[in-house]
Amino acid sequence: MDFANSVQLADASNNFVYLAMVTLFLATVFFSASFAVGRRRETQHQVASRRVLVESGGSRVQDSAPALTQDEPGRRGANIGMSLTWLSAGMLLVGVVLRGMWAGRVPWGNMYEFSISSALGILAVFLVWSTQRDLRWLGLFVTLPTLLTLGVAVTLLYSEAAQLVPALNSYWLVIHVLAAIIGGAAFTVGAATAGLSLIADKGWFKQLPPREKLEGLTHKVIAFSFPIWTFAVVAGAIWAENAWGRYWGWDPKETWAFITWVIFAAYLHARSTAGWKHQKASIIAIVGWLSFLINYFGVNIFINGLHSYGGL
């Protein structure tokens, strides 16, 4: 590839990342507005259902509390936010692909590339999940961390594309890093629902589902991501044997990946243990996500090891 084409691809990739950030910021604004002007309310059918009392053994038992629906102003803002989030994800995908074309390899060779790919992963997990259930209420709490990830990437982590170091020049890069991106993205979405479950009963955000539903959603997303993270750790060990002649050496990156795995394993165990199902389990999920952040940002930036080749 000649220099002129290389510069064009680099500029195009950067421009699409910037456009994705602007679009994502607008999505965040509309999601925020939906919280400001909207509220959760019961439909007429739900009100009627709630009033139905069932006679049982001389006592009256009320039906379980109905689900809530968002009113029109809030729903309109959330719908615009969702549309902008889809648009932002598309732009970011183009930016990541162009970055790979510029580099002549998969775009996961340094911290900047991993960060923009991770941001895309967060949006992808959220948007794919949103096709299965109504997650408009979650949009604000997904777009904000994604926007912060992109902001850190373009301001602090940006670096020019370079050839991979020998340890990274392997097909295991695709297998291991892709699993880590998906697992970390799902952990981020799970941390959002876990955090919201801790404040759901305080009445700060009327649009939020009940705490029990939030806890259930957290469990589902972490139950999805935990096997993927497990595979990422195992794939990393196999890759380490190919690159360095040993499966495990307690390198800082390996150690924190294992610590993260242990914490999320503890979360799944807590969900099946009496007395640990609710707030305590949600706190463990958040601690696991913080461990994931330490594994990426803290270890890569502040601790030297065999994985210290991401560059700033």
What tens digit of pLDDT does each residue of 218-246 get? 999 999 999 999 999 999 889 888 877 77
- Is 180 inside any structural domain? yes
From the list 264, 253, 244, 262, the residue with the least C-alpha distance to 298 is: 253
- Is 193 inside any structural domain? yes
Give the chain's domain count. 1
- Is 86 inside any structural domain? no
- Is 307 inside any structural domain? yes
The rounded distance, in Å, linking the Cα atoms of 243 and 230 is 20
pLDDT of residue 263: 96
pLDDT digits (tens, 9 = 90+) for 143-193: 999 999 999 999 999 888 777 666 667 788 889 999 999 999 999 999 999
- Residue 299 Ramachandran class (φ > 0 left, ψ -120 to 50 alpha, else beta): alpha
- Is 234 inside any structural domain? yes
**CA dihedral of 167, 172, 178, 179, whole degrees rounded to 10:** -110
- Is 200 inside any structural domain? yes
For residue 50, pLDDT beyond 80 = no
**What is the mean predicted confidence (pLDDT) over 281-293?**
94
Pick the most confident of 9-13, 67-71, 74-78. Answer: 9-13
Q: Half-sphere exposure of residue 138, counting CA atoms within 13 Å on the CB side?
A: 28
Asked if 131 and 83 count as a contact pair (C-beta separation under 8 A), the reply is: no
The boundaries of the domain holding residue 198 are 164-312
Choose between 107 and 247: higher pLDDT.
107
- Is 300 inside any structural domain? yes
Q: Please, which residues have CB within 8 angstroms of residue 152's CB and are 6 or more apart in sequence? A: 115
Its pTM surpasses 0.75: yes
- Is 245 inside any structural domain? yes
